[in-house]
Amino acid sequence: MIEAWQTHRASLMDAAVADRPALEGRVMDGPIGARPVRMTWPRRLAAGTVPTQPLRQPSMARRVGAGVLCAGLAALGATVVYRLIERPRRTVPQQAREPEHVSAARYLNGAAAVLSFSVLTDSAMEHYRGAYHNPAMYLAPTVAASALANSIHMTVTPEHFGIARTMLAGIALATGLGGFGFHTYNLAKREGGLNLLNLFYGAPLGAPWAITLSGLAGLAASRLVAESEQTQPGRLLGLPAGHLLAWGTVAGLIGTVAEAGLLHFRGAFHDPFMFLPVTLPPLTAVVLALAAVNPDFAGWAKRLLQATAAMGMAGAGFHAYGVSRNMGGFYNSSQNILNGPPLPAPPSFSGVALAGLGAIKLMEAHQ
């Protein structure tokens, strides 16, 4: 039946083409005073083909995103090449016991690695779900991958300092700030602007801050070993490093709690364990702030930071269970992983807690 319809359609097209010379260029009469209409004949198309669509001019946001992507990749590529050829210098002599500021730098680099891994996997999945409609969306997973490799190497060799190491951490920081701007624009252009519904289902405002915290942790670790080589160990930007890092960790915990609380509220806290990320980390932040003022609270802060780090790893397991409860479970992973609880999100708590443990390490040494 389909073949008969195609044969009939082809015969009609042949008949129309045969009459084309008689119609081509004929001027058709119209209403009085109207411009005459000259007949034109459409180009013949093969059966089953779709006519070509007119090219659409890309939006301003996409053009800006393309420019940001090109600039970011150029800066990242140049820094990576320099990173490969640079030979970082050792800031402390070889000794049996690792100095406290080097141990703290190891914690900070570990925090940067965990946060970079979380951003790499989360942004790759979420931006894939968004079809990478803005070219700048390719930049976040690319920078996160390079930051992850850089942070792992810095964790293994925290006593070394290199300019390229610091530059890669700075690029991660700049990427997070730029991503926050793009996510804010995504929410602002939606119907209703920055309302609760758009905060639930639009681009997450808190997500870019994870790569920002990763960059800050890497910068702090790099500057900690560099300044310890020149001045008294355990100082950062001329201030006691332990207290400065403690306040930074408090801010990071508060921001991570806000993001988790928003999404768990969207999920109606249907599981009692969903209250844990909005209760334990705030308590940890309060005790850590007290420890920055009164060192007597350092022991309690250390235990709570360890519990927060463990909670972040356990949260990935709870999210995996949530994905498995969806229809099809992991057999339908192509849909459930994208639409279920985000698997890479909970380890962000672990990354921030590691930075806090580095701060406790420095405060204990300062005592």
Q: Which of 196, 221, 237 is the last residue of a domain?
A: 237
pLDDT given at position 171: 95
Residues 148 and 266 reside in one and the same domain:
no
pLDDT given at position 23: 45
Residues 91 and 189 reside in one and the same domain:
yes
Residues 87 and 203 reside in one and the same domain:
yes
DSSP string across 232-264: -TTEETTEEHHHHHHHHHHHHHHHHHHHHHHHH
Q: What are the φ/ψ torsions at residue 89 (nearest 5 degrees)? A: -95, 150
d(C-alpha 131, C-alpha 135), whole Å: 10
Strand bridging mode 89-90 / 37-38: unpaired
Residues 343 and 216 reside in one and the same domain:
no
Indicate whether 11 belongs to any domain.
no
Residues 252 and 226 reside in one and the same domain:
no
Residues 102 and 225 reside in one and the same domain:
yes
Residues 122 and 204 reside in one and the same domain:
yes
Task: State how many domains the chain has.
Answer: 2
Residues 311 and 217 reside in one and the same domain:
no
What's the chain's Rg over C-alpha atoms? 29
Token duo for residue 63: 């053009």
Indicate whether 158 belongs to any domain.
yes
Query: For the stretch 316-347, what's the b/e string if a residue is b when 16 or more beta carbons lie within 10 angstroms of its beta carbon?
Result: bebbbebbeebeeeeeeeeebbeebbbbbbbb
HSE toward the beta carbon, residue 62, CA cutoff 13 A: 8
Indicate whether 326 belongs to any domain.
yes
Residues 217 and 270 reside in one and the same domain:
no
315: left (phi over 0), alpha (psi -120 to 50) or beta: alpha
Residues 227 and 78 reside in one and the same domain:
yes
pLDDT given at position 136: 93
Query: For the stretch 130-140, what's the b/e string if a residue is b when 16 or more beta carbons lie within 10 angstroms of its beta carbon?
Result: eeeebbbbbbb
Q: What are the φ/ψ torsions at residue 87 (nearest 5 degrees)? A: -115, 100
pLDDT given at position 43: 58
| Host domain of residue 188 | 65-237
Indicate whether 96 belongs to any domain.
yes
Grouping H, G, I as helix, E, B as strand and the rest as coil, residue 207 is: coil
DSSP state, 367? Answer: -
Indicate whether 33 belongs to any domain.
no
pLDDT given at position 276: 94
pLDDT in tens, the chain (367 residues): 555 555 655 565 555 545 444 444 444 454 554 555 555 555 565 555 556 666 677 788 888 999 999 999 999 999 999 999 988 888 777 765 778 888 888 999 999 999 999 999 999 999 998 889 899 999 999 999 999 999 999 999 888 888 999 999 999 999 999 999 999 998 988 888 888 888 888 888 889 999 999 999 999 999 888 877 665 666 777 778 888 999 999 999 999 999 999 999 988 898 899 999 999 999 999 999 999 998 889 899 999 999 999 999 999 999 999 898 888 888 887 788 888 888 999 999 999 999 999 999 888 877 6
Q: Which of 179, 207, 237 is the last residue of a domain?
A: 237
Cα 26 to Cα 14, 17, 33, 209, 354: the distances in Å are 20, 15, 18, 66, 80
Indicate whether 41 belongs to any domain.
no
Residues 89 and 147 reside in one and the same domain:
yes
Indicate whether 53 belongs to any domain.
no
Query: For the stretch 234-249, what's the b/e string if a residue is b when 16 or more beta carbons lie within 10 angstroms of its beta carbon?
Result: bbbeeebbbbbbbebb
pLDDT given at position 179: 94
pTM recorded for the entire structure: 0.81
Q: Which of 205, 237, 269 is the last residue of a domain?
A: 237
